[in-house]
Amino acid sequence: MKKILVVQHVPHENPGIIGPAVERGGYRADCLKVYETHAMPRTIEGYSALIILGGPMGVYEEEAYPFMKGELKLIESALKTNTPALGVCLGAQMMAKAAGAKVYKGKSKEIGWYGVSLTEEGVDDRLFMGLSDEFTVFQWHGDTFDIPGNASLLASSELFPNQVVRIGSRAYAVQFHLEVTEKMIKEWIEVNRDELDGLKGVIDPGKIIRETGENITGLHAYGRTVIERFLRMID
């Protein structure tokens, strides 16, 4: 059975709907929980794909989170060997940095449900071809990244233009969360209560929960398709 390495940074940002998709595809997911162990393989050797999940830390906080140096080496290995790779939120930012791009704080925070639009190149990309070119996704981030030199912009939002970037031919950096479940969103609101308290008048947790009921089914339909197409890239 082919193996996929999944890097998880914090307990509450788990694979979500990615896990069942991996099982349906007939693959084994090895989940590396860096909050429990700092043992990080330096290369992707032995794995058929790499998935990097999100987390509250910033890519530029390497001194506070020493595992990041090893994780960047791991991602670099995947990029150099053209191994299918998917980065979500922090994972997308890590991939951008590993590819040579700058990662930095955005002008605001994007937390909740927002519209995203595919670019002309995104409409023709194999992960998104035939899907709606405008869709609603769940966001929780304040950082952003520049587009690496060997990358293509596939999707944008009003607040953060770089939402989906393809690096090379088989690596995808996705700023938003296609993997979340309703349970995860409610947990994130509780875990990040201090952050939300500092954004009163800007971000409304009650509105996020209401809009979750309206949008989660559509997100799952879109997300499952994208994830399943990503898994088909595995040799």
pLDDT in tens, 101-148: 999 999 999 999 999 999 999 999 999 999 999 999 999 999 999 999
Q: Can you give the CATH number for the domain in which 39 is found?
A: 3.40.50.880
Q: Which residues of 53-86 are buried (b: 16+ CB within 10 A; e: fewer)?
A: bbbbbbbeeeeebebbeebbebbbbbbeeebbbb
AA identity, residue 42: R
Cα–Cα dist 178/224, whole Å: 8
Residues whose CB is less than 8 angstroms from the CB of residue 33 and which lie 6 or more positions away in sequence, other chains included: 8, 11
Taking Cα atoms as reference points, which of 57, 48, 35, 47 lies closest to residue 195? 57
Q: What is the pLDDT of residue 54?
A: 98
Q: How many CB atoms lie within 10 A of CB 113?
A: 19
pTM of the model: 0.97
Q: What is the tally of structural domains in the chain? A: 1
Cα–Cα dist 27/213, whole Å: 31
Share of the chain above pLDDT 70, in %: 100
Taking a C-beta distance cutoff of 8 angstroms, is the pair 172, 230 a contact? yes
Residues forming a β-bridge with 3: 28
Q: Containing domain of residue 201, as a range?
A: 3-231
Cα–Cα dist 215/194, whole Å: 25
Taking Cα atoms as reference points, which of 174, 192, 109, 114 lies closest to residue 143? 109
Tell me the average pLDDT across 63-88: 96
Give yes or no for residue 38 having a pLDDT over 90: no
Taking Cα atoms as reference points, which of 20, 93, 26 lies closest to residue 62? 93
Q: Which residues of 171-206 are buried (b: 16+ CB within 10 A; e: fewer)?
A: bbbbbbbbbbeeebbebbbeebeebbeeeeeebebe
Cα–Cα dist 174/105, whole Å: 16
Tell me the average pLDDT across 164-178: 98
Q: What is the mean pLDDT of the chain?
A: 97
Q: Which residues of 125-156 are buried (b: 16+ CB within 10 A; e: fewer)?
A: bebbeebeeebbbbbbbbbbbbbbeebbbbbb
Taking CA 152 as the corner, what is the angle to CA 221 and CA 212, rounded to the nearest 5 degrees?
Answer: 30
